[in-house]
Structure 1
Amino acid sequence: MSKETLKILRDSGWYEGRSIDIKEIEENLERLGYIVFPEVKNFLKEFGNLVIEDSINDETHNTSIRFTNYDNCGSFKSEEKYAGESLVPVGMIDSGYLVLFVSESGKVYCSTGKLGDNSIEAWENLISGGGGKPWGNF
């Protein structure tokens, strides 16, 4: 991970080995009909409940979002079709414009495509890298 990405994540409260209690987040997602897969739980334990002020891109990424209505959030069927697996919403990125997802296998996506094969790659691509790969380009 680049120094810039690491600094932004640390300034937001993240640290190596972070593991928060996700019981409330998990119960909320399950109430809305999502299956909270082990890889989603791992992401939430490490990166849940953060508000990341991305000074490089002048954006905010928020993993403390509580999704409150399954119908309003949608079931994200078109994104799941592109990803080829189930997705669970875990936050909002790009100052609330895009939904952040973690898949059953642990890959990280947003509303417009794939950010990375894992959370570290995804944060690097989102903050310091060239973004992600648009749907259909991976």
Structure 2
Amino acid sequence: MNQVDAEAERILARAGWEPGRQVDISAWRSRLEEDGFVMHHAAERFLREFGDLVVPYGGPGISRAREALEFDPLLAIGEGDRFAEWSETVGKSICPIGELDQGRFFLGIDEDGMIYLMSDSLARFGAGDAGIASLVLGVMPVPLAELQVLRADSTAELELSGTRPELRALGRFLRAGRGRRGLLENREPSPYSRSLSELQFQETPGSVIRILVDGSSLKIFGGRAALDLLADDIEDFASNADASDHLHVEYFPGHHYLVSGSDSLVIAIAAPAS
């Protein structure tokens, strides 16, 4: 390790790191390969130096808390599909290197040494020593891509867009029955009027769902079975549609899960962020 912020180096040293540290990664490589992962050169180099380090919670950081982290790639066993989806999004192979905040987030590294924070969304800390320092010192990672909802006020037209992994994650959120998440705000939404800032969803009694705009929020609420049907449609679209296709979620008499009065929603596949 070289040229790392001195404070980050002290934190890692307390966890057991030292210059020239080398650990045996052969068991990790074998187990990861059994689970379908590829341990590329950047992952090998990182894990030889930092593998098995455990850094406890460290209080406030620079722009986020210094959450506990553990550099053990086997913590991501069983998450191959998630890593494959995000690898597809960035166009690079992301190998697991551990977890942050006691399993709330996974950590990964691509062939270029870029370090990622991974859950149902993707963010990056940076590459090389700078990325390690940002992770250890509590720097907020940069979101790589986010869901976006645009609205044309004159026609009430709504478009929700996201990458394929993000749309599949949206399906999982809907199945959870309740939650909220921020949306990427577009300051130049033309030809739409504005972008919304929040998505909310909640399970309520009944057999149908309603989609509506409330201020700057898009709200989706309704019965469990109906939310699952919408999730099915979104996940199928994200997995199988062509990039230029659109999924129209709009009411018509006899609709199998939308109630009359719901706002119409068009769902599109966004290109991965660079």
Structure holding more strand per residue: 2
Distance 1:74 1:121 in 2: 28
Q: 1:59 aligns with which of 64, 67, 89?
A: 67
2:125 is aligned with what amino acid? L
Q: Please state how far the C-alpha of 1:69 moved relative to its aligned partner.
A: 4.2
Q: Which moved more, 1:75-84 or 1:13-22?
A: 75-84
Q: Deviations over 1:24-71 (max 9, x none)?
A: 11111111111111111001101111111241435210113524743x
SS of the aligned residue for 1:122 comes to helix
Q: Please state how far the C-alpha of 1:10 moved relative to its aligned partner.
A: 0.4
CA contact (8 A) 1:54 1:127 kept: no
Aligned to 1:76: 83
Aligned to 1:104: 111
CA contact (8 A) 2:24 2:48 kept: yes
Q: Please state if 1:42 is matched with 2:49.
A: no
2:105 is aligned with what amino acid? L
Distance 1:46 1:67 in 2: 18
SS of the aligned residue for 1:74 comes to helix
Structure 2, gaps ≥5 residues long = 60-64, 146-272
Alignment CA distance shift 1:68-1:110 (3 Å): closer
Alignment CA distance shift 1:38-1:58 (3 Å): closer
Q: Which moved more, 1:120-129 or 1:27-36?
A: 120-129
Greater Cα radius of gyration, structure 1 or 2: 2
1:42 is aligned with what amino acid? R
Aligned to 2:234: none
Aligned to 1:121: 130
CA contact (8 A) 1:91 1:100 kept: yes
CA contact (8 A) 1:12 1:52 kept: yes
Q: Deviations over 1:93-124 (max 9, x none)?
A: 13321110011222111113111112x21221
1:61 is aligned with what amino acid? L
Aligned to 2:144: 135
SS of the aligned residue for 1:59 comes to coil
Structure 1, gaps ≥5 residues long = none
Q: Please state if 1:31 is matched with 2:34.
A: yes
Q: Please state how far the C-alpha of 1:91 moved relative to its aligned partner.
A: 0.5
Distance 1:30 1:75 in 2: 16
Distance 1:115 1:80 in 2: 16
Q: Count residues in correspondence.
A: 136
SS of the aligned residue for 2:56 comes to strand
Q: Which has the higher contact order (CA 8 A, sep 6+)?
A: 1
Structure holding more helix per residue: 1
Task: Provide the TM-score with structure 1 as the length reference.
Answer: 0.85
CA contact (8 A) 1:61 1:94 kept: yes
Task: Provide the TM-score with structure 2 as the length reference.
Answer: 0.45
